[in-house]
Amino acid sequence: MPRYLIFDLDGTLIDSCAICVEILSAMLAERGSTHVIDPQTARPWMSVGGAQMVAALLGPACGDPDAEIAEFRRRYAIMQTRADSLFADVADGLARLHNAGHKLAICSNKPQNLVENVLRDTGLGGLFTSVVGARAGVPTKPALDLLTIVLADLGVALDQCLFIGDSEIDHQLADAAGIPFLFVTYGYAHADYVAPEDSFDHFAALTSAILAGHHA
């Protein structure tokens, strides 16, 4: 049974939509913009990458894209992620998996400093052997580069791993790497995404399936 579990972060462990909408809404308010971000409409944008998400949600108020994403990330870096941003049963489930001897890792397109902040704020940091977020000069998922860094950190081969995520991008990454993919349905996948057979509506069900060895 694979003992190394590699998780996406946003949409899989953390519901980051609210904090992103809060930051972007503050930016709009400071500009006197009347543009309003609908939290539900915003959800699918959480998985497409920061720059595209910020541009889409700022809409007509978006200025220079590079400046906008830099400002968004500056604000994000000084905000605290609330523990209740964790999806239901994530903290307990990760602890159970860790205590059962699984090695846990993060592979996220979120910038490295923000990933580390989120894990610290939510108390999850100590559970992960490897934490890999986006960094300069390294292509993001679904390219294999970030996953390659995770594997090097863990010192393992692909056939010892599972990938757990919530979006088409995560699925594409797992397929390209040739490792089993487990999908959580509550995240940021687009409505037309066809969920794979190994799909879970709740993190508790995912945890139980992994512990029982019932997965691809």
**Residues involved in catalysis:** 8
Residue 170, Cβ neighbours under 10 Å: how many? 30
Q: Are 78 and 85 in contact (CB under 8 A)?
A: no
- Residue 184's SS3 state is strand
Report the distance separating Cα 179 and Cα 190, nearest Å: 22
From residue 161, give the alpha-carbon distance in Å to each of 7, 45, 88, 119: 10, 28, 24, 21
